[in-house]
Every structure is written in structure tokens, then in C-alpha cells.
Structure 1
């Protein structure tokens, strides 16, 4: 239950005139407070248990895997470094960012910690090695995360163009969606085609079996997910929402998220036979009924276990399903893990 609703019930319990004696009012007030304290104690205990579960698994099973020692010489051009003529789209492990354009959202030190999921610009993320972007927009074409908005989507498009102009063989999956509870920007599909038309890879299921070299000079798979506007059709310069899927697990408990991610991944068909991208997000989400509501301290509960997830996916026999792997506050180690696994696939060390 959201914190605001809980507070409402607490207030009603305190001011409700039905108890006739002061001691009855006190009993209601402190009874509600006691329930809340008890729930928070239970959550703290669950969090300690889940943190220990992941830490113990990391120690006992390890987070090494074929390709885990690989580090690209140039993260900005890592696809070029792996040879675009050999990189088949469905075999790439695509490092991605969650809520990509939130580096300047909200007011610093006030509202920003509640919505910021990346600390650097979209351009810096791409230069660092990210190849999947998650952009949320509202009706006025500003990027947003929930109720907070930031710069216009033009900033994102310009930074994508800048990165493409500085590289030659890097392909990007650009997901743009209308944020939940918001209205679609008018004629946004036309805007995207006007801005990116020259580099857009048209919606075509044969793309999954092609190499990066075969896609060039086209460079961007743009997935447009409107709320009410018509979805892109086959052959369109834009891709419809069904081509980038995930199972969002809304929890701040790290082991719960880890195991749920693994379960949903194992239920997917192998990437070689899929006609869509499937995303796993190595993130944890603040909950409204928990005192810790800032993104960074919550998502860091799982952030360091990205390599463990890959190692466990191999151990549990579902690594051939892993394709798009996203995170908050992307860093070089996360990129290296994805690129290293891609390199191992090219060498035939993992499926």
C-alpha cells in the first residue's frame, strides 16, 4: 500500500470520534503505529536474509564464466572490435541502461535521488559501451520518470547522433515509450523518422539472423511504444513494442529480483529462434512503504551481482536465452561482462 494511503488511514484512526475515551484513541493510534513498526522490522529482516543469500551464492558458486576475463580495448567501439561481419544480432549480449535519460532529472539533492537511475549523459553511456537505451517521454516531448520531467527528447536524439557520427559499426537499440499515466506526444512517430530516418533499421524479423555488417550503414533499431497512438507496422522505419519484451519485477529485495529474473529468463525460448529481443534488468526498485526510497542505495543491493547472474544462467542452462541485459548507473565492469560473454559466444565457448 502506498505510503500516502497508509498515512491517510493513520490520520483517520487518530481523528475518528467514535472512541469515546482518550485511552481508546491512544489504543487506536499506537496500535496502527505498532503494526507499521512491526512490518518495517520484518522487511529489514527479509532484506538482511536476501543480501546474505546472494553473498553466499557468490562465494560458493563464483561469478566467473567463459569470457569473464575479456575486456574490450575500446568500449566506445566494442562491436567493431569483435568484427561486425561475425556479430549476428541474436547472439549479441546487449548492455543496456534503465531509465537512461535521468541524469539531470528533478532538483539536485531534493527530488533527483528519488528518480535518477543514471548519473551520466546518454552520450557518455554509449561511449562507455551501452547499446540499449530506455527513454520515457510525456506529451510535451520531455523525458520523464514518473511525475518528474527533465530535458526534451531532442537532447537524447542529438547525443545519439553525436555518438553515431564518431563511430562506424556500433548498432543501438533505442526504446522510446510514453511513460505510464502520460499522453503520447502528438505525431511522435513522424518526429522520430524525421530525426533518425537515415540510420533507422526498418522493422523486419530477418534482422535477428543478420550480422551487424549486413545492417550497416543503418545503425538504430528504434522501438516506439505509444500508449494510445497506432503502433508501428511491419516494414515501418520504427519497431513495435512486441519486439522488445521483459518481465518487470517491482521489488527492492535483491534475491527475489535475482531469482525472478532467472525464472522468467528460463521460460523464454532460446534467442536463436526468437523474433524479438528479451531484456533482463539487473535493478532493484524503491518501494513506497519502505523508508529507503532513493534509487541508488536500493538498486546497489543487486548492482554488483551482474556477473553472478551470468554465471548462474550458464550453470542453470539458460544462458542461450540472455540477450538484452540492463542496469541502473551503468559502469565499465557491467559492459565488460556483456561484451565478454558475446566474445565467448563468437568463440563457441557458450551457446
Structure 2
């Protein structure tokens, strides 16, 4: 089977699964009245960290990556700023940096990390109980920015929730005034230690596979998630990325037309997680080009867990 046939077959497979199985699950009808403050709307006094299904963005700071209309379509995974993503309801950010502290994606680069940090701080200043997981990693093939851990601590200060296994079973209210879980993933410099203001790489895990085949990615995501501990017992965040990636052996290499092969099946994935008995593993769920329905899909599960319906 050639590549185009394989892609067409897999798109049909997901479409048929969606048509036959549907995308209803506990909490699927819930819509947060205010996405900017959806954690606050679910009662921070009762909501524990491990109960949250965190809507996230993949390659979050790529809205201005590369050169518009030239290189940008090959690397852009989000179309709006970090601040606007947070206002829409995203609570997990995936940021890659190079040695000069500029955001990058492979060989393409964008604005300075200060733009990201200022957007996060602006959002935090406008809300009361929203918690953000900020993952920052040194991009593959690049060197760690000098003294970057100190820089992050200086920038966020008391907003940082310190690395602590006990945090997972605390309520949102108990974690306040901390608002940011910052996971720093350097390549060579020392990793954060227990009790540090920053969290080390092992606290945000995933099993990313490099494919543009939507059903293959869907089933791989499900299998890998099923092998994790339930959220109630594990001491790390586990991420599932509802994305597929352009491949060099296929004529379609721009991000948008490729990732939309799977992008519309977020609710199907959640519904299948419930029907297959793995919904208690779902925690961080990320997407390209985030929209409000994706956020609602995640918040709905969080609501159902809080109310004892999931």
C-alpha cells in the first residue's frame, strides 16, 4: 500500500469509529461558563491536582515561527499567542528554546522567551486560581541557555509551585498562591532537584511517535496511556498529544493539513478511553491549533471526576 492510500485508509478508519462508537462520555455535555477561569469555576477548594484533565498545546510558541508564508507553514502548530491560548483555556504549554533564549522549532526560530513569560504572568495577574504547567526544554541540537534555571526562578518568584510529590494530592486552593508548575528540561546542565522551585523532566512524560498516520497515532496514544498508572496513584504528569507530524516522504509537509487528520477526534479519544477502561489514566491532553471545543472536552472530564461521575 502506498503512502497516500495508507493515509486515506487510516482517515476512514477513524471516521468510521467515530460514526459507530460516538464521542459521548461522562462530562461530555459540560461547557465551562468562563474558559479563562475554568479551574476557578470548578471549586478550587475541592478540586485536587490529580483530578484535572489538562488541555495543552503542542509546540505552543510557534505562532510567529520562521518567515510568514515561507517557512512558517512547515513548523507552525499554534496560530495565537501564549496569552490567548491561556484565555481560551489551555493550561499546559510546550516551549522549546535555544542557547540565546529564543523560542525555536528545529532550525527555525521565533521571539525571545521573555514574550512567553510575560504572557503567562499577564494571564496569572488577571486570574485568581488558574494553574499553568509550563514545560520548557532545550530543543534537540541546541545548547542549554546559560544559567537559565536561575533566570526562570527570578522571573516567576513566588508564583512557582515547588517540586513536591505531595502536590498531586493537594487541592488547587492548597497550592495557592503558587500558580506555575515549571518543568525545566535541559540537555546538559543539572536537572532540578526535589524541593527546588522548578520540576525535573521526569514529572512530565509522554510516548511521542513520529507519524502522519492518524489511526496509528490514535491507537499508539491509547496503548501507551493504558500502560500508565491511574492518575490517583502516580506522581508525574502523563501527556497524550492528539497530533500527527508531516513526513518527508509525503508530498504534504505543512503542519495544518496533516495534523487536521486527527485534530477533530479529541472527543472520540476520550470516549474510547472510557469505553476501553483507561479513562482514569487521562491527564494531560495536547493539540495543535487549540480551540474552545478541545478545552471543553477536557474540562468536561475534570468536572465529571470532581462530581464523582467518572
TM-score range, shorter chain: over 0.9
Aligned residue in 2 for 1:211: 171
- Residue 20 of structure 2 corresponds to residue 60 of structure 1: yes
Aligned residue in 2 for 1:224: 184
Which one has a larger percent helix, Structure 1 or Structure 2?
1
- Residue 66 of structure 2 corresponds to residue 106 of structure 1: yes
Q: How does 1:1-351 map to 2 (within 5 A)?
A: 42-350=2-310
Question: 1:79 & 1:239 partners in 2: Cα distance?
Answer: 22
SS in 2 for 1:150: strand
SS in 2 for 1:314: helix
TM-score by length of 2: 0.99
SS in 2 for 1:288: coil
Question: 2:49 & 2:75 partners in 1: Cα distance?
Answer: 32
Question: 2:33 & 2:63 partners in 1: Cα distance?
Answer: 26
> Would you identify which runs of 4 or more consecutive aligned residues in structure 1 move more than 3 Å?
none
Give per-residue Cα distances to partners, 1:42-63, cap 9 Å, x unaligned. Answer: 0111111101100000011001
Question: 2:132 & 2:17 partners in 1: Cα distance?
Answer: 33
Taking CA–CA contacts closer than 8 Å with sequence separation of 6 or more, which of the two structures ends up with the larger relative contact order?
Answer: 2
SS in 2 for 1:44: helix
1:249 to partner: Cα distance: 1.1
Count residues in correspondence: 310
Give per-residue Cα distances to partners, 1:46-84, cap 9 Å, x unaligned. Answer: 111101100000011001111111111100000000000
Give per-residue Cα distances to partners, 1:25-49, cap 9 Å, x unaligned. Answer: xxxxxxxxxxxxxxxx701111111
1:347 to partner: Cα distance: 1.2
What are structure 2's unaligned runs of at least 5 residues? none
Question: 1:349 & 1:60 partners in 2: Cα distance?
Answer: 24
1:288 to partner: Cα distance: 1.3
Query: What is the alpha-carbon root mean square deviation over aligned residues?
Result: 0.6
What are structure 1's unaligned runs of at least 5 residues? 1-40
SS in 1 for 2:195: coil
SS in 1 for 2:241: strand
1:326 to partner: Cα distance: 0.3
Question: 2:115 & 2:307 partners in 1: Cα distance?
Answer: 38
1:197 to partner: Cα distance: 1.2
